[in-house]
């Protein structure tokens, strides 16, 4: 078998696994196809996800379902104003050894798992929120000067309520930038509400099957990196990032007028990685302009900082991204 044939076989197997995962998730989760896809793209590209939506929309259930279908070790952290960093990372405890002497031993916190559900992350104080920064960025935690490695694969899927709700703390920009993407969870339609009621209020229970495993997820992450990216597509992605900077010559008028800070290099990396994962999930070996445009919303929306004039005018990050996508770029042709 040639190298090309071997790669084609790998991509075909990946497409089968991804299709089974999607079908199994949708057998339990009603609607939210776009949310499910964006979360899977993030997982297969090795990134963390921030899900925002009103309480009761099924964000927690979605994450638990994905962890079960992918057969990954799952841990839930319920963020509250009184939770401490050590409640997340773990701590050193004095315990007697065989000789009866007191020695320090490390007691792992809930962050040591494959999929971490950081539930209502913006209800914790900034000090506790920052406890996730090292784990998300470096995939390590440091306890009393000792560094501990996280398990592989490692994802943080955090949920948050809209910041205008009572008892919430806005996440600092340094932390939101650690998330590969921000996914908005919308309210279900009438038909979806009816189906939710049928599935959850009747006597029948839905049992999930494991459609993949830990090794499959790691293999898909590695395969995603092999998706081809042409110079033309890379130029378009770079243009989109530079166009978010108000002092850039590439920036359209709406950016110059309403944006205070644009996206940095991590935004470009996230844009490319998520576009590659989308291409792989779509059964393609290369990134298209459509991939970049589709993932631009979840990847860039939390990285655009509006100025006072933009906030006062009710401008949203999504409207800025929409304007960028309509601009004739200086990178690739649409």
69-98 mean pLDDT: 79
pLDDT digits (tens, 9 = 90+) for 107-142: 777 888 888 888 888 777 777 777 777 778 778 777
Q: Find, among 275, 230, 257, the residue nearest to 323 by Cα.
A: 257
pLDDT digits (tens, 9 = 90+) for 257-313: 888 888 889 889 999 999 999 988 888 888 999 999 999 999 998 888 888 888 888
pLDDT band, very low/low/confident/very high, at 334 (cuts 50, 70, 90): very low
Q: Find, among 43, 24, 25, 216, the residue nearest to 116 by Cα.
A: 43
Separation between Cα atoms, residue 105 and residue 212, nearest integer Å: 34
Question: How many residues are listed for the chain in this entry?
Answer: 334
**Structural domains in the chain, sorted by start:** 3-85+111-216 (3.40.50.300), 227-326 (1.10.8.80)
- Alpha-carbon dihedral angle through residues 28, 34, 35, 39, given to the nearest 10 degrees: 100
Q: Find, among 30, 51, 56, the residue nearest to 40 by Cα.
A: 51
Contact 223, 14 (CB under 8 A): yes
For residue 58, pLDDT over 90 is answered with no
Contact 80, 118 (CB under 8 A): no
pTM: 0.84
| Mean pLDDT, rounded, of the chain | 81
Q: Give Dmax (Cα) for the chain.
A: 74
Q: What is the pLDDT of residue 168?
A: 62
Most confident of 6-15, 190-199, 259-268: 259-268
């Amino acid at each position: 078998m040639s190298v090309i044939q071997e790669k084609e076989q790998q991509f075909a197997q990946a497409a089968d696994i991804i299709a089974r995962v999607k079908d199994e998730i949708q057998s339990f989760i009603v609607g939210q196809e776009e949310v499910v896809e964006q979360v899977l793209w993030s997982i297969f590209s090795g990134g963390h996800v921030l899900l925002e939506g009103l309480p009761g929309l099924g964000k927690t259930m979605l994450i638990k379902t994905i962890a079960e279908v992918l057969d990954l070790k799952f841990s839930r952290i319920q963020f509250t104003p009184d939770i401490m960093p050590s409640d997340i990372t773990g701590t050193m405890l004095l315990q007697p050894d065989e000789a009866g002497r007191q020695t320090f031993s490390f007691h792992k916190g809930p962050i040591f798992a494959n999929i971490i559900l950081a539930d209502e992350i913006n209800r914790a104080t900034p000090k506790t929120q920052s406890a996730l920064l090292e784990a998300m960025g470096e995939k390590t935690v440091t306890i009393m000067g000792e560094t501990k490695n996280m398990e592989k694969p490692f994802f943080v899927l955090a949920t948050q309520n809209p910041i205008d709700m009572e008892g919430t703390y806005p996440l600092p920009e340094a932390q939101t930038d650690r998330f590969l993407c921000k996914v908005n969870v919308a309210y279900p339609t009438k038909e979806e509400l009816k189906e939710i009621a049928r599935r959850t209020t009747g006597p029948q229970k839905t049992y999930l099957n494991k459609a993949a495993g830990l090794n499959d997820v790691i293999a898909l992450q590695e395969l995603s990196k092999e998706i081809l990216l042409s110079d033309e597509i890379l130029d378009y992605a770079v243009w989109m990032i530079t166009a978010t900077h108000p002092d850039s010559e590439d920036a359209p008028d709406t950016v110059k007028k309403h944006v205070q800070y644009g996206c940095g290099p991590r935004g470009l990396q996230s844009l490319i990685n998520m576009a590659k994962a989308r291409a792989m999930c779509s059964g393609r070996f290369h990134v298209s302009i459509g991939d970049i445009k589709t993932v631009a919303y979840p990847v860039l929306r939390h990285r655009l900082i509006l100025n006072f004039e933009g906030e006062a005018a009710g401008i949203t990050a999504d409207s800025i991204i929409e304007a960028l996508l309509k601009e004739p770029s200086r990178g690739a042709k649409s």
